[in-house]
Structure 1
Amino acid sequence: MAAVLLPGLRLAAEQPNVVLILADDLGYGDLGCYGATKVQTPNIDAIAAAGRRFTDAHSASAVCTPSRYGLLTGQYPFRGNGGEGIWGPCGHFQSLLIDTNKLTIGKLFNDAGYATAAIGKWHLGFGTGKTDWNKPLRPGPLELGFDYYFGVPKVNSGYPYVYVENDRVVGFDENDPITFTKPYSKTTTYPAEAGKKTVNAVGGAQKAHALYDDEKTGTLLTEKAVDWIENNKEQPFFLYFATTNIHHPFTPNPRFKGTSQAGLYGDFIHELDWMVGELMKTLEANDLSENTLVIVTSDNGGMFNRGGQDAFHAGHRINGDLLGFKFGVWEGGQRVPFIAKWPGKIQPNSVSKQLISGVDMLATFAALTQQDVDEEQLADSVNVLPALLDKPTAPLRESLVLVPRKPSHVSLRQGKWMYIPARAAGGFNGKPGQHGAGGPAAVSFVGSPNSDIENGKIKKNSPPGQLYDLDADPNQTMNRYREYPEIVAQMQKRLDQYRSTQQAPRKRREN
């Protein structure tokens, strides 16, 4: 792919720094600049005011692990794992899910001479075969183009509850190795209102476990990111800052508790906003703001778990008026906030309706750094840099594959149409009051109208699939499947074409 520069953009001389902030489970309605009133996000809102806010941006998946896979590789997650796809959160012993021969955004920046770091939640596995937590965790982030890694190796709701720096567990003691047998080591615990945290099933490593504290994790990750920026400010750098906020359990630092009007869920957002603010202060203090592209987005939509439900009862809608929640393919599960700021390059206080995805970051950063990338390595990524820096009138993306928890619900967006080849959303279907609340029951509970749903269930006479006109009906209230059979047939054919090439991405075809 040849990089195409816009008028006045002198990238070669500038080599802009890039800070990519990926929040966890941050919904479309969770920020002030996207309409939230029960939480206050002044630091993130300031980025939107100084830059561009996207209203049709999507995560690579409605689930955490496959979403991160798509973001880092530019490849739809249904192609991963040798064509079997990556569908759910990775497990405790998952080997590295990304082929080390695959181009990643870390390698891309490394190739351009950048210092690179991944700080925060990883959740993409380590090593080959079954992960051995007592040995160097390689291959891992360091083999994917990151010079430095520090963070939570899996997810803040799942063991092992330790931090990892580069390729080792922090505080590791070879005389007290990690075991997966009783007695299990003590970890910090919190009341039910904080939301689900899997009971620890890891023994040994007493020192490493003692260092891990949920309520201090946000502060610690921020400190690590600030220090890394200051230590690498003399060269162009790329920071991938993947926060554990606002994934359950909702464990904000005590100073943020009670500061929002949306319970611990909102308080955790407040901590996230502070974290973003600390990074922005660091850029400003080191005279880096003018030449740094900052992006804030999320790995998927908000989840209607205990925290999300408590926030709803307090008057906060985590995904705004969008239909559905995390794990499902409805818009609430994968349409996410996306904000970009670059002084002098991105128009302040601007809004874009361009259709973009997390998988597009690879091609976009290739254009930003003026690198030619092989078509096979670009995979499904589309260069959307013009949507950040200019106002293209034509769509940069004609279509987009949307990937939820269930393979049966892989869906297609094409222009204004969204096609789902099955009923419901392909995510969680628990009833409100349960951790896994979602689907029709949760949709009815929050009062989101949909023509296929009645009293929390799919109507018996509803169509076998779904078709929505998102220009006229962004909240997916009316299924047009039976009204436009020719559109359904055409989009099903297109979706079949994508799935027929599931194992390997295309040589350049229309995307």
Structure 2
Amino acid sequence: MKVLQIFGVVLVCLISGLKGYTQTDLKKPNIILIYIDDLGYGDIGINGAVGVKTPNIDALAKNGLNFTDAHCAAATCTPSRYSLLTGSYAFRNNAAILEGDAPLIIDTTRYTLPDMLKNAGYTTGVVGKWHLGLGDGNTNWNQRVSPGPAEVGFDYSFLIPATGDRVPTVFIENQYVVNLDPQDPIEVSYGKAIENAYPTGREHPELLKQYADNYHLGAVTNGISRIGYMKGGSSALWVDEQTPYVLTNTAKRFIEKNQDHPFFLYYSFHDIHQPRIANVNFIEASSMGPRGDVIAQMDWCVGEIEKKLRELDLLENTLIIFTSDNGPILDDGYVDYARELVGDHKPGGPYKGSKYSVFEAGTRVPTILSWPGVIKPGISDALLSQVDLYASLANLLAEKNPGKKAPDSENHIDAWLGKTQKGREFLLEEAYAFGLRKNNWKYIQPKENATVPGWITQKYVDPGFSTHPQLYNLETDPGETTNLAEDFPQVVIEMEDKLNTIFKKPRL
């Protein structure tokens, strides 16, 4: 019997060696996806941040793999989150930034990333910002809100329903509003005003902690004016300054509760999205005002998650994926002087663009993977997209290839784990225009109408619109300053042909 056992161990080791994985890989890792909001490539210390320190994230990078060319799927939040969870490009479902009362944008018949992980034996949870819609379009916030996370693969959920700057400003746990008094029901509107609703920032600016643009002068809760109108639910309203603690403690409880079997935690931060309201413990933690302070606050929260894993002796068997939903933005609705106080700090690092922009910083985001004993510490230049996490994790767990279930997701698990520097051949960048990467080439498809909407102009964003093709060599021109389209017409044709293949239409 002992001989047979020894033979079995040797056989397993040989098989795993042939596959390129160690015996440690054979045990299903816990998976924690830490998804920061509006964090730019250059907003962390390891990537050159100035004026704010991120020691916990830097340590994660030092002990893991720091990616220099990894991308979210789109330059705005809802589209990126949709692609992340479905393995499908957002344009295929016309996914766009949703209001707080929008219906669930993910088809409940679709097989999602959490569905795949559940099928692989994982308990799945989401904590934090959702912004994928809830309900069916006629949402009653005073009962179970459905459909929601449970209908798309999550066993547990604790949500900010949309964003911090949109009503309703309440937490929702397992699709019920937390601490709701039935005698004080919630009513939400994104159209006409509600009678006897919360005062608005437009009519009562004296109530505001932070002034806002015209779009954000709706209901005032906790001294912050939001988008939309709201009535009721006073016992359930969140306090912005406490949000990072509420979310992080909830995430830690999920980890502790599920420590004895594989779990997947999608921890979707509110920071560093506006309104940027730092807890008193982090005020003046940076030299950049509120935006820098909430970066420091966010870093502390990341450290708390790793600390909990260490306490429970789970760190060695946990794959941590740290990244962002889109590029950075300084002015995005509230007056917190981020643009005036940025100093020498470069939120997008050496890259041009921002949130809402098709230029490189719109989707090239900080990305770190850590799995002690499996991922060798270092730096990777592999070209990767978050849309590929679906197929890559499925391959890691020996689940069936998602195929049509995740039509745009490619398996690049070897690149994610640092076993190769080879990633995608082509990578789509979605914004309000379309970009395409191949190696160091960056192509931006021309727009028939290149007029920049006023709401984008007000945010000091260059979206990258042009009626002419744009082609850049990022190796020599990371700032996308010199258009080489006329010098390399064959590259333009190749890139346009590939884009049209993705769009499923012939090149005209």
If the length of structure 1 is used for normalisation, what is the TM-score?
0.86
Aligned mates of 2:366, 2:270 — CA distance in 1: 16
- Aligned equivalent of 1:477: 481
Give the secondary structure class of the aligned counterpart of 2:101: coil
Amino acid at match of 1:399: F
Against the structure 1 CA distance between its residues 328 and 322, is the aligned structure 2 distance closer, same or farther, given a 3 Å change threshold? Answer: same
Aligned mates of 1:196, 1:41 — CA distance in 2: 32
Write the mapping of 1:228-377 to structure 2, written as runs, cut at 5 A. 228-305=254-331, 306-307=335-336, 309-310=338-339, 313-348=342-377, 350-377=378-405
Give the secondary structure class of the aligned counterpart of 1:345: coil
CA displacement at 1:344 relative to structure 2: 0.8
Aligned mates of 2:213, 2:24 — CA distance in 1: 45
Q: Is the 8 A contact 1:301 1:326 kept in 2?
A: yes
2:141 equivalent to 1:133: yes
Per-residue CA distance 1:118-154 (angstroms, 9 max, x = gap): 0000000012233332331111111111111002000
CA displacement at 1:294 relative to structure 2: 0.6
Gaps of 5+ in 1: 441-451, 453-457, 503-511
* 1:500 aligned residue (495, 504, 507): 504
- Aligned equivalent of 1:439: 462
Amino acid at match of 1:218: P
CA displacement at 1:431 relative to structure 2: 8.4
Against the structure 1 CA distance between its residues 14 and 313, is the aligned structure 2 distance closer, same or farther, given a 3 Å change threshold? Answer: closer
* 1:413 aligned residue (437, 448, 456): 437
Per-residue CA distance 1:378-432 (angstroms, 9 max, x = gap): 3111122111323425x3311111110x2xx122222221111127999776688
- Aligned equivalent of 1:22: 35
2:187 equivalent to 1:179: yes
Amino acid at match of 1:99: D
Against the structure 1 CA distance between its residues 266 and 311, is the aligned structure 2 distance closer, same or farther, given a 3 Å change threshold? Answer: farther
Write the mapping of 1:73-112 to structure 2, written as runs, cut at 5 A. 73-80=86-93, 85-86=94-95, 88-112=96-120
Give the secondary structure class of the aligned counterpart of 1:326: coil
Aligned mates of 1:425, 1:262 — CA distance in 2: 33
CA displacement at 1:274 relative to structure 2: 0.4
Indicate the larger mover: 486-495 or 61-70: 486-495
If the length of structure 2 is used for normalisation, what is the TM-score?
0.86
Against the structure 1 CA distance between its residues 383 and 207, is the aligned structure 2 distance closer, same or farther, given a 3 Å change threshold? Answer: same
Per-residue CA distance 1:424-468 (angstroms, 9 max, x = gap): 999776688x4x22117xxxxxxxxxxx9xxxxx9xxx8712111
Amino acid at match of 1:341: S
Q: Is the 8 A contact 2:30 2:318 kept in 1?
A: yes
Give the secondary structure class of the aligned counterpart of 1:184: coil
* 1:36 aligned residue (36, 40, 49): 49
- Aligned equivalent of 1:506: none
Aligned mates of 2:68, 2:88 — CA distance in 1: 22
**Once the two structures are aligned, what percentage of the paired residues are identical?**
39
Indicate the larger mover: 50-59 or 310-319: 310-319
Amino acid at match of 1:130: N
CA displacement at 1:197 relative to structure 2: 4.9
Against the structure 1 CA distance between its residues 24 and 308, is the aligned structure 2 distance closer, same or farther, given a 3 Å change threshold? Answer: farther
Aligned length in residues: 467
Against the structure 1 CA distance between its residues 97 and 4, is the aligned structure 2 distance closer, same or farther, given a 3 Å change threshold? Answer: farther
Per-residue CA distance 1:338-365 (angstroms, 9 max, x = gap): 00110111112x0101011110110111
